[in-house]
Each structure stands twice: as C-alpha cells, then as structure tokens.
Structure 1
Amino acid sequence: MSSYSIKDLEHLSGIKAHTLRIWEQRYNLVQPKRTKTNIRYYDDTDLKLILNVALLNNNGFKISKIVKMSPADIRNKVISLTEGALAYEDQIHALTVSMIEIDEESFDRILSINQRSIGFDETMLRVIYPFLAKIGLLWQIGSISPAQEHFISNLIRQKLIVAIDQFVYQGSGKKFLLFLPEGELHEISLLFASYLIKREGHRVIYLGQSTPKDDLIEVYNYHQPEFLITVITTSPDTEDLQAYLDELGDIFCDSELIVSGYQILRTPVELPGNVRLLEKIEDIKGFVESLEAKENAVS
C-alpha cells in the first residue's frame, strides 16, 4: 500500500492542505497515520476518499452532507456522476481512484464516456495527459507503487495501440521513424505521436522502447525517413544528453529530428541545427498539421 503526505493529497485532489486539516478536525473525515518517527501520512483508502469527496464537492455537494453519507453511498454517487458530463478535473480524480483500486472496468468506463463525448484526441490531451502529469510527481517520489503505475500505463498503451491500428497507410505522405533511446521505456507519448502521424496519412516506422543505436542506424539507412521522433524521459542521463543529441544530429544530418520529454526539457542543451524541440509531445499534432498545410500551399 502506498503512503501520501498531505501535500500529495492536495496535489492530487486540488483541495488545499489547510482545508483538509479543517475537515479532519471538524468532521473527522480522515485520520492520518503516523510513522515510528511520528511523521503523519495517509494511505490509499484515505486518498480514494479525499478524491471522491473532492469530486462530489466540485459538483455541488456540501462537505457537511458528504460526511454523513456511507462509503457505499459515496461510491454510488461518484459512479453516477462520472457517467455524465463532468469537468475534466473530476474525470482525472475518477481515473486516479481507478488506478489506486487497480480497477480496469472503471478506467474503461471513464475513458469510453470521454471518447464518445469529445473524441480520442481530446480525451488524450484534456484527460489522460493531465492525469499522467498529476501522478508523475508522485511516481518520482515513490508515493505510487510500481504495480499501480504499470497497471495504468499498460491500459493507456492498449488504448493507443487499438486507436493506431484503425489507420492503414495508403502510400502517400511523409516518412517518420519513431524510437526511444536505449534504456528508455516510457512509451505512451511516442505511441500518441504514432497515432497522430498515421491518422494524417503519413508512414510510420515504429521501433519503440530502448532502441539500440546500431539498429536505429540500420533502419534509418534502409528507409531514409524525412523525420525522426524520440521522447527522452529518463534516458540518457543529463550528463550524457548533449553528447547524445550531437551524435544523433550528426548521424541523421539529412533528416529532421524531433525531440521531447521530461529529461530534455529540464536539461540545458544546445540543439544541433537539424534538431527541433517540442515543449510537449502533444505539439506533434500541430507540427503534423503544419506539414499538411505546406503540402496544400505547394499544390
């Protein structure tokens, strides 16, 4: 079971730590546990309750009424609300609960509702990516277990693969080579890029996780793509990043290399002339659409 500080609860629920402490004292909403060194912490059950309370509170339920509801009543009301048109923040709360509970059925239901309402693209951009960003910090500091992170990542990965498979290359458009550096396993953003590119009719050569440099060069030489895309989240290390980018820029000098990811965004680097940085991998959508606009202008 994971443990959370009150700041973690604030980060995930949007309820200020000061308000949470008032609710603890006035309504006995949750009671923090204490470590052997007397440090306060909260567990998964506490986090689920706070997220559900936040969702109900955001939708007009007063805290004085919520604390009188049974756990079953709270859960049923939350399920009923998530089947309607909720604010994105509330959908993110519901997804977080499904992650904590390792509840695939709940996760699928929430995503399906959003896809029907706003489409797959907007579900990824407005719900999934903010959700991943929200839990990313907790993953970094170890407040989320590997099982929870793997569970949610694999479900999102499955949804992306299904979405990608609906598009069949028709023989036109640009050629993109997508890969992750050796040691890099965070694949969701690269899969989303593949989805966006294929949807616009371009060809994708997808190498995926932890691609050895020699294999990357071999595939590049064979296909000669106009563009390469990679996402650098944890690998290579910050001290090796500049040398890695310089090497890629030199090896693939006849193509444009598009890079994004947490590691490169937090590390000061000088980009080679043929390397473009995207602040967010979601910006690949605008980049691909700009290619289409250029093609139309030329024709």
Structure 2
Amino acid sequence: MYSIKQVSEMLEIPTVTLRAWENRYGAVNPTRTESGYRVYSSENIEDLKWLKEQVEDKHMSISQAVLLLKEYRKEKRQVHAFSEPPVGSSKEAFAKMSDQIYRTLYQFQGERANGLIDFGFSMYGYDSMFYHVLVPVLIRVGDAWESGRATVAQEHFMTTLISQRFYQFFHMFPIYPKLPKVLSFCPEGEHHQVGLMLFSLFLRKNGVEVLYLGANTPLDGVLDMIGEQHVQLICISTMSSELVPESDAFVSLIARRYPNVNFILGGKGYEGAAQPMYPDWVMKEPADKWQDWFEKSPYFR
C-alpha cells in the first residue's frame, strides 16, 4: 500500500491532480486509514499510470480516459463471470476457451471477445493462447466461411479482430540488428495467412525484424521496398498449389534484381507442389521443429 505522496513521486503526478481525478471523475478508489489518509493499492497505481499515458501520450481528456477505464473494468468483470474456471485437462480448457471466443466473435461481440482473449493471456500465457486457442479459432472461422455457415461479414470481423491481436505482439519483443531483416507476405490471390502470421511471429520472438505485409499482397511496390528497406530474407506463403507458378515467377524476378536475397517458401501450396522451382528454399519443418531449424539455419548465424 502506498501513500498519496509516494504515488505522486512514483508517477510524477501532483497530489492535487490525484485528488481531482478521484473527486471529480472517480478515477480510482483508494482506501482510507483510520486517520482518513489515502492509501493506494498496486492496482490503483497501474490504473493511474494508464490514465496518465492516455492524457499525456494520446492527448485524451481525463474524463474520456476514466470512461474507457471504467468500461474496461466492467468488461473484465463480465469476462470473469462468463468464463468458468477451466476444468479437466489443458486440452479441454483450451478447447473451451477457443469455443467461447469463437461464439462471441460469431455474434459480433468484439469487446467481450477481446476481454476473453485478455483473460486467456493472463491464465495461459502467450504461446498457449496463440497456438492452442486463437489459431483453432481462425481455422474454424475459415471452415465456417467455406461451408457457408459464416457470412463474409462474420468471417472478416472475426479474422480482423484476431489478426489485430497477433499484430500487437510484433512490438513486444526486442530486435537484434545483426539478424537479417525479413519481409513476409502471401502472393496476390492468397487470402489465407495464418501459417505466415505464426511463422512471422516466431521470427519476431527470436529477435528478427519482420516487415509483415499479410495476405493478398500485390507485386506493385514490393520490389522497390526490398531495396529501400535492405531486406535480406523474404518469406512467401501460399495454401494453393495453383498460385505456386506465379509465386515462383515473382521469386525469380526478385532474385535477378537482388541476387543476395534469400527466400523461405511455405504453406500447403509449396508442400504439395510436385516440382517446385526452388526446392532448397521450401520450408519443410513443422511448427514444433521451427526453433531447432532457426538455431541451425545459416540465415540467422
């Protein structure tokens, strides 16, 4: 527990401001000693720190920031009420969490879905949530759309929200400048990016700077970008074998212009290709072997 003076010094917020945020806006609710002095909990401090960031860095009014904070608290309570404690094996718990997130997204309940995801991260951590909860959601979304059980609007809404959560983690990991800069994209016409997204996140987790362009990337501008950004390694993924020849043609074009650039070609399209043009660049390792591959790869030494 902390006094108002300690909190003021810790967060560099004047005590008069702390009192105003409490009295006028109900920002936090510190407890009181028998003598009437305020004492702040660690949660109070985190809330105040967040409010300060919104006001100073994002130029939000304190009233707006407090409103957002209260909405977040409300959503968090709803999520905890909605999410029963996991029972049984981890596999069953992951499946239950994945199903809850899918159902809320299917009903366009974005705030609740985000709350469930936050709750899952706090319970299971980064790796488990992505690989055992969110990836199955994305696969289920794709299956529902292809079978007609989900509309285009539902598929876009669900995929976009989960993709945004993936993108957030690109900025969480440190970058090691000595490692090659990577460009990742799916060729034009390829809309399935789950595998590429996971591989790109894996590289970022290992300190690699990744420029992620995502699905259905047109060729216009990519060639210049490679040179301007000093890209040394390019990851291309496609699920369709029909797109492999076109993708190979683009690889040939890049290789002629930038002979020192290397490639990693992946996805079911390349895995199923009978005679890939560049077999040495085709990624054959499954996800559970990526770390071993990374540590032995000449690209990252």
TM-score by length of 2: 0.59
Q: Aligned equivalents of 1:173 and 1:76: distance in 2?
A: 40
Gaps of 5+ in 1: 1-74
1:166 to 140, 165, 172: 172
Pair member with larger Rg: 2
Asked if structure 2 preserves the Cα contact closer than 8 Å seen for 1:82 and 1:110, the reply is: no
Are 1:219 and 2:225 counterparts? yes
Aligned-pair CA distance for 1:158? 1.4
2:99 corresponds to which of 70, 80, 93? 93
> What corresponds to 1:42 in structure 2?
none
Checking the alignment, whether the CA contact within 8 Å between 1:179 and 1:206 is kept in structure 2 is: yes
Q: 2:209 aligns with which of 203, 209, 219?
A: 203
1:63-82 correspondence to structure 2 within 5 Å: 79-81=82-84
Classify 1:243/1:81 alpha carbon distance in 2 versus 1 (closer, same or farther; 3 Å): same
The question of whether the paired residues in 1 share the 8 Å contact of 2:173 and 2:205 is answered with yes
C-alpha displacement at 1:98, in angstroms?
1.0
Pick the aligned partner of 1:248 from 233, 237, 251: 251
| Structure 1 residue 290: Cα displacement | 4.2
Q: How many residues align?
A: 218
Q: SS at the partner of 1:257?
A: strand
**1:224-281 deviation per Cα after TM superposition (whole angstroms, max 9, x unaligned):** 53421122145xxx44523532551564264432223344445544251442234767
CA distance in 1, matches of 2:168, 2:263: 26
In structure 2, give the amino acid aligned to 1:201. Answer: G
More divergent stretch after superposition (97-106 vs 243-252): 243-252
Tell me the CA shift for residue 153 of structure 1.
Answer: 0.9
Shift of 1:91: 1.6
2:153 to 147, 151, 161: 147
Task: Give the root-mean-square deviation of aligned CA atoms.
Answer: 3.5
Contact preservation (8 Å) 2:175, 2:207? yes
Percent identical pairs in the alignment equals 20
- The SS at the match of 1:277 is coil
TM-score w.r.t. structure 1 length?
0.60
Q: CA 1:178/1:215 → structure 2, altered by over 3 Å: closer, same or farther? A: same
Quickly say closer, same or farther: Cα 1:286–1:149, change in 2 above 3 A.
farther
What residue in structure 1 maps to residue 126 of structure 2? 120
| Aligned-partner Cα distance in 2 for 1:76–1:154 | 21
Q: State the SS of the aligned residue for 1:180.
A: strand
Decide whether aligned partners of structure 1 residues 82 and 154 sit closer, same or farther in structure 2, where only a CA change above 3 A counts.
farther
Q: 5+ residue gaps in structure 2?
A: 1-77
Cα deviation per residue 1:133-154 (whole Å; 9 max; x = unaligned)?
2332221122211121111111
**1:148 to 1:200, Cα distance in 2 relative to 1, 3 A:** same
